């Protein structure tokens, strides 16, 4: 099966700044408004902290900071996407703050290209591919690969209750 066919499907579209991203819809559990996040000491900058989601404590990461984009003041469109991620062979629920959720995108195989090679081997390892949707370029994220193994262990430990 080609990469394009494997990455074709439905994605939840969202924005960080002016850039468009897509996350496989099956990874998204729900989208919630921004809420109070309790910071956890001695964690990386991109780890916002934890939230209490209906009695379950889940870690929250800020994708802007993880991607080196710099912090941005929250707006009425800023939200948390609650996602399911594989961490150390276990499905973990975590939150991801994004600037704005846009729409569900149905991206077909003809509209997906492999991630670009940008020199640094790890620079694009978290991309499933680059999709084209309504005249836009959309970076299709592999949520299971956004965090490296050390970060997964840390974030997974934060969410244990």
Q: What is the pLDDT of residues 116-155, one digit of tens each?
A: 776 555 567 788 899 999 889 999 999 988 888 888 877 8
Q: Which CATH number characterizes residue 18's domain?
A: 2.40.50.180
The backbone torsions φ and ψ at residue 16, rounded to the nearest 5 degrees and listed phi first, read -125, 110
Q: How far apart are CA 140 and CA 113, in angstroms?
A: 10
**Strand order of the sheet with strand 79-87?**
28-33, 79-87, 90-98, 56-62, 47-53
Tell me, rounded to whole angstroms, the distance of Cα 144 from its chain centroid: 9
pLDDT above 90 (res 36):
yes
pLDDT above 60 (res 75):
yes
Q: How far apart are CA 85 and CA 145, in angstroms?
A: 9
Supply the pTM of this predicted model.
Answer: 0.87
Higher pLDDT, 83 or 116: 83
Q: What is the chain's Cα-based Rg?
A: 15
Q: How far apart are CA 122 and CA 72, in angstroms?
A: 25
Please give the tally of structural domains in the chain: 1
And the tokens for 105?
């995108």
Say if CB 21 and CB 6 are below 8 A apart: no
Q: Domain of 102? A: 3-158
Q: What is the pLDDT of residues 45-69, one digit of tens each?
A: 999 999 999 999 999 999 999 999 9
């Amino acid at each position: 099966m080609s990469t394009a066919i494997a990455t074709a499907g439905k994605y939840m579209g969202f924005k960080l700044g002016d850039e468009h991203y897509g996350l496989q819809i099956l990874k998204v559990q729900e989208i919630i408004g921004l809420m109070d996040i309790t910071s956890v000491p001695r964690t990386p900058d991109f780890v916002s902290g934890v939230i209490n989601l209906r009695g379950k404590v889940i870690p929250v990461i800020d994708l802007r900071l993880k991607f080196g984009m710099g912090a941005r003041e929250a707006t009425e469109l800023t939200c948390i996407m609650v996602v399911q991620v594989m961490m150390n062979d276990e499905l973990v629920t975590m939150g991801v703050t994004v600037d704005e959720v846009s729409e569900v995108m149905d991206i077909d195989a003809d509209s997906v290209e492999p991630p670009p090679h940008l020199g640094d081997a790890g620079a694009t390892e978290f991309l499933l591919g680059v999709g084209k949707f309504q005249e836009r370029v959309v970076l299709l994220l592999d949520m299971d690969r956004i965090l490296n193994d050390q970060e997964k262990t840390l974030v997974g430990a934060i969410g244990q209750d």
